[in-house]
Amino acid sequence: MDGNKDFLEFVYSFNESMESKNVKLVYKGEITHQVTKAFTSITETNMMVEEEPNSVQKKVFHVIVEFLQNISKHADYMGDESHEEGSGVFLLCKDDENYVITTGNILMKQKEAAIGEVLDKINSLDKEGLKALYKQQIKEGRLSDKGGAGLGFIDIAKKTGNPLDYKFVPLNDEFSFFIISSTISRTQNFD
Protein backbone atom coordinates (compact mmCIF):
# COMPACT_ATOMS: atom_id res chain seq x y z
CA MET A 1 0.00 0.00 0.00
CA ASP A 2 2.96 2.30 -0.57
CA GLY A 3 1.05 4.12 -3.30
CA ASN A 4 -1.77 4.85 -0.92
CA LYS A 5 0.63 6.11 1.73
CA ASP A 6 2.20 8.45 -0.83
CA PHE A 7 -1.22 9.72 -1.65
CA LEU A 8 -2.05 10.44 1.98
CA GLU A 9 1.26 12.28 2.30
CA PHE A 10 0.32 14.26 -0.78
CA VAL A 11 -3.00 15.25 0.81
CA TYR A 12 -1.18 16.44 3.90
CA SER A 13 1.32 18.55 1.96
CA PHE A 14 -1.46 19.81 -0.33
CA ASN A 15 -3.29 21.07 2.73
CA GLU A 16 -0.08 22.64 4.10
CA SER A 17 0.55 24.38 0.77
CA MET A 18 -2.96 25.77 0.70
CA GLU A 19 -2.62 27.07 4.23
CA SER A 20 0.72 28.72 3.47
CA LYS A 21 -0.91 30.68 0.61
CA ASN A 22 -4.11 31.42 2.55
CA VAL A 23 -6.24 29.46 0.09
CA LYS A 24 -9.78 29.28 1.46
CA LEU A 25 -11.52 27.69 -1.49
CA VAL A 26 -10.19 25.72 -4.42
CA TYR A 27 -11.86 23.93 -7.31
CA LYS A 28 -10.66 22.19 -10.43
CA GLY A 29 -13.01 20.95 -13.11
CA GLU A 30 -15.84 21.97 -15.35
CA ILE A 31 -17.24 25.43 -14.58
CA THR A 32 -21.01 25.45 -14.93
CA HIS A 33 -23.63 27.92 -13.84
CA GLN A 34 -24.37 25.63 -10.88
CA VAL A 35 -20.71 25.65 -9.81
CA THR A 36 -20.66 29.45 -9.98
CA LYS A 37 -23.82 29.65 -7.87
CA ALA A 38 -22.36 27.25 -5.31
CA PHE A 39 -19.14 29.27 -4.89
CA THR A 40 -20.84 32.65 -4.72
CA SER A 41 -23.27 31.27 -2.17
CA ILE A 42 -20.55 29.74 0.07
CA THR A 43 -18.43 32.88 -0.14
CA GLU A 44 -21.37 35.18 0.57
CA THR A 45 -22.30 33.20 3.65
CA ASN A 46 -18.71 33.27 4.93
CA MET A 47 -18.40 37.01 4.30
CA MET A 48 -21.68 37.69 6.09
CA VAL A 49 -20.56 35.67 9.11
CA GLU A 50 -17.32 37.65 9.17
CA GLU A 51 -19.26 40.92 8.81
CA GLU A 52 -17.27 41.98 5.78
CA PRO A 53 -18.40 45.45 4.58
CA ASN A 54 -21.15 45.33 1.92
CA SER A 55 -18.96 46.94 -0.71
CA VAL A 56 -16.27 44.27 -0.25
CA GLN A 57 -18.87 41.49 -0.37
CA LYS A 58 -20.29 42.79 -3.65
CA LYS A 59 -16.89 43.18 -5.27
CA VAL A 60 -15.80 39.67 -4.29
CA PHE A 61 -19.12 38.29 -5.56
CA HIS A 62 -18.69 40.15 -8.83
CA VAL A 63 -15.14 38.97 -9.49
CA ILE A 64 -16.11 35.34 -8.83
CA VAL A 65 -19.07 35.59 -11.22
CA GLU A 66 -17.12 37.27 -14.02
CA PHE A 67 -14.02 35.09 -13.77
CA LEU A 68 -15.99 31.84 -13.71
CA GLN A 69 -18.27 32.96 -16.52
CA ASN A 70 -15.16 33.73 -18.48
CA ILE A 71 -13.87 30.18 -18.12
CA SER A 72 -17.21 28.58 -18.92
CA LYS A 73 -17.43 30.62 -22.13
CA HIS A 74 -13.82 30.91 -23.26
CA ALA A 75 -11.71 28.04 -21.93
CA ASP A 76 -10.38 25.99 -24.82
CA TYR A 77 -10.38 22.23 -25.07
CA MET A 78 -7.04 20.60 -25.63
CA GLY A 79 -8.65 17.35 -26.74
CA ASP A 80 -7.13 15.11 -24.08
CA GLU A 81 -9.03 13.23 -21.45
CA SER A 82 -7.55 14.99 -18.45
CA HIS A 83 -9.09 18.35 -19.35
CA GLU A 84 -12.79 18.80 -19.91
CA GLU A 85 -14.32 21.49 -22.04
CA GLY A 86 -15.10 24.75 -20.21
CA SER A 87 -12.98 23.66 -17.30
CA GLY A 88 -10.32 25.30 -15.21
CA VAL A 89 -9.03 25.94 -11.75
CA PHE A 90 -10.42 28.46 -9.26
CA LEU A 91 -8.80 29.70 -6.05
CA LEU A 92 -10.04 32.11 -3.44
CA CYS A 93 -7.39 33.35 -1.02
CA LYS A 94 -7.86 35.67 1.92
CA ASP A 95 -5.49 37.33 4.35
CA ASP A 96 -5.91 40.29 6.72
CA GLU A 97 -5.76 42.86 3.93
CA ASN A 98 -7.07 41.29 0.75
CA TYR A 99 -9.19 38.78 -1.05
CA VAL A 100 -7.34 37.37 -4.04
CA ILE A 101 -9.38 35.51 -6.66
CA THR A 102 -7.47 33.57 -9.29
CA THR A 103 -8.50 31.33 -12.16
CA GLY A 104 -6.56 29.30 -14.68
CA ASN A 105 -7.69 27.68 -17.91
CA ILE A 106 -6.39 26.28 -21.16
CA LEU A 107 -6.25 28.71 -24.03
CA MET A 108 -5.22 28.50 -27.66
CA LYS A 109 -1.91 30.29 -28.12
CA GLN A 110 -3.25 32.30 -31.02
CA LYS A 111 -5.53 34.18 -28.59
CA GLU A 112 -2.70 35.20 -26.26
CA ALA A 113 -1.64 38.38 -28.03
CA ALA A 114 -5.15 39.85 -28.14
CA ILE A 115 -5.89 39.04 -24.50
CA GLY A 116 -2.51 40.32 -23.33
CA GLU A 117 -3.04 43.55 -25.24
CA VAL A 118 -6.46 44.13 -23.65
CA LEU A 119 -5.14 43.38 -20.15
CA ASP A 120 -2.09 45.63 -20.56
CA LYS A 121 -4.35 48.42 -21.72
CA ILE A 122 -6.71 47.92 -18.75
CA ASN A 123 -3.78 47.87 -16.32
CA SER A 124 -2.41 51.11 -17.75
CA LEU A 125 -5.63 53.06 -17.18
CA ASP A 126 -6.79 54.99 -14.12
CA LYS A 127 -10.38 54.99 -12.89
CA GLU A 128 -11.55 57.65 -15.36
CA GLY A 129 -9.82 55.86 -18.22
CA LEU A 130 -11.49 52.59 -17.25
CA LYS A 131 -14.89 54.29 -17.09
CA ALA A 132 -14.38 55.68 -20.59
CA LEU A 133 -13.25 52.29 -21.93
CA TYR A 134 -16.23 50.59 -20.27
CA LYS A 135 -18.67 53.03 -21.88
CA GLN A 136 -17.05 52.60 -25.27
CA GLN A 137 -17.11 48.80 -25.00
CA ILE A 138 -20.72 48.55 -23.80
CA LYS A 139 -21.85 50.78 -26.67
CA GLU A 140 -19.78 49.20 -29.42
CA GLY A 141 -19.25 45.66 -28.22
CA ARG A 142 -21.88 43.24 -29.41
CA LEU A 143 -22.92 40.32 -27.28
CA SER A 144 -20.92 37.41 -28.67
CA ASP A 145 -22.60 34.13 -29.52
CA LYS A 146 -21.31 32.80 -26.23
CA GLY A 147 -22.96 35.61 -24.30
CA GLY A 148 -19.88 37.56 -23.32
CA ALA A 149 -19.87 41.29 -23.80
CA GLY A 150 -16.09 41.83 -23.48
CA LEU A 151 -16.72 43.89 -20.41
CA GLY A 152 -15.76 41.57 -17.59
CA PHE A 153 -12.07 42.42 -17.17
CA ILE A 154 -12.64 46.16 -17.62
CA ASP A 155 -15.40 46.15 -15.02
CA ILE A 156 -13.35 44.13 -12.52
CA ALA A 157 -10.40 46.55 -12.77
CA LYS A 158 -12.78 49.51 -12.46
CA LYS A 159 -14.57 48.16 -9.38
CA THR A 160 -11.56 46.73 -7.50
CA GLY A 161 -9.21 49.62 -8.31
CA ASN A 162 -6.39 47.08 -8.73
CA PRO A 163 -4.56 45.84 -11.83
CA LEU A 164 -5.19 42.30 -13.08
CA ASP A 165 -2.14 40.04 -12.72
CA TYR A 166 -1.86 37.49 -15.51
CA LYS A 167 0.46 34.93 -17.04
CA PHE A 168 0.47 32.55 -19.98
CA VAL A 169 2.31 29.28 -19.30
CA PRO A 170 3.08 27.38 -22.53
CA LEU A 171 1.82 23.78 -22.58
CA ASN A 172 2.75 22.80 -26.14
CA ASP A 173 2.89 24.38 -29.62
CA GLU A 174 -0.81 25.04 -29.70
CA PHE A 175 -1.98 25.69 -26.15
CA SER A 176 -1.13 27.71 -23.06
CA PHE A 177 -2.42 27.80 -19.53
CA PHE A 178 -3.87 31.25 -18.85
CA ILE A 179 -3.80 32.46 -15.23
CA ILE A 180 -5.48 35.66 -14.11
CA SER A 181 -5.76 37.13 -10.64
CA SER A 182 -7.75 39.98 -9.09
CA THR A 183 -7.17 41.56 -5.68
CA ILE A 184 -9.93 43.13 -3.60
CA SER A 185 -8.85 45.19 -0.63
CA ARG A 186 -10.71 44.46 2.62
CA THR A 187 -9.74 47.79 4.13
CA GLN A 188 -9.26 50.32 1.35
CA ASN A 189 -11.82 53.02 0.87
CA PHE A 190 -12.87 52.55 -2.75
CA ASP A 191 -13.50 56.24 -3.43
| Count of positions on this chain that bind other proteins (CB under 8 A) | 29
Piece in contact with other proteins (CB under 8 A), picked from 59-67, 75-83, 116-124, 173-181: 59-67
Residue 152 near other proteins by CB under 8 A: yes
Site membership for other proteins, residue 65 (CB under 8 A) = yes
Kindly compute the dihedral angle of the four CA atoms of residues 48, 51, 55, 59, in this order, to the nearest 10 degrees: -50
The span of 80-88, 99-107, 128-136, 165-173 binding other proteins (CB under 8 A) equals 128-136
- CA distances 160 to 78, 111, 181, Å, are 32, 25, 12
For residue 145, the 8-state DSSP code is: T
Contact call for residue 155 and other proteins (CB under 8 A): yes
Element (H, E) at 84: none
When binding is defined by CB under 8 A, the residue of 134, 168, 175, 178 that contacts other proteins is 134
Give the three-state DSSP class for 165. strand
Does position 139 interact with other proteins (CB under 8 A)? The reply is yes
Whole-number Å distance between alpha carbons of 106 and 76: 5
How are beta strands 98-108 and 87-94 bridged, if at all?
A: antiparallel
Which residues would be at the binding site for other proteins (CB under 8 A)? 33, 36-37, 41, 54-55, 58-59, 61-62, 65-66, 69, 131, 134-135, 138-139, 141, 143, 147-149, 151-152, 155, 159, 190-191
